[in-house]
Amino acid sequence: MSYTVEWAEPALALLAEIADTRIQRKLLEVAEELATDPDKRGSPLVGDLAGYWSLHWSRYRVIYLIDDEAQKVYVLAGGIRQEGKPRDIYELARRLLRRGLLEPPGE
Question: Are β-strands 4-7 and 72-80 bridged in parallel, bridged antiparallel, or unpaired?
Answer: parallel
Helix, strand, or coil (residue 48): helix
pTM assigned to the model: 0.90
Q: Span 69-84, mean pLDDT?
A: 93
In this predicted structure, the answer to whether residue 92 has a pLDDT above a threshold of 80 is: yes
pLDDT at position 57 is: 95
Question: Which whole number is the average pLDDT over 25-35?
Answer: 96
| Domain spans in the chain, listed from the N-terminal domain onward | 4-98
Please give the average per-residue pLDDT across 61-88, as a whole number. 93
| Mean pLDDT across 1-20 | 93
Neighbours of 41 (CB within 10 A): 18
Per-residue pLDDT for 101 more than 90? no
Instruction: Evaluate whether the domain defined by 4-98 bears CATH number 3.30.2310.20.
Output: yes
1 to 34, 35, 36, 38, 87: CA distances (angstroms): 11, 8, 7, 10, 35
Q: At what angle do helices 21-32 and 9-16 cross, to 10 degrees?
A: 150
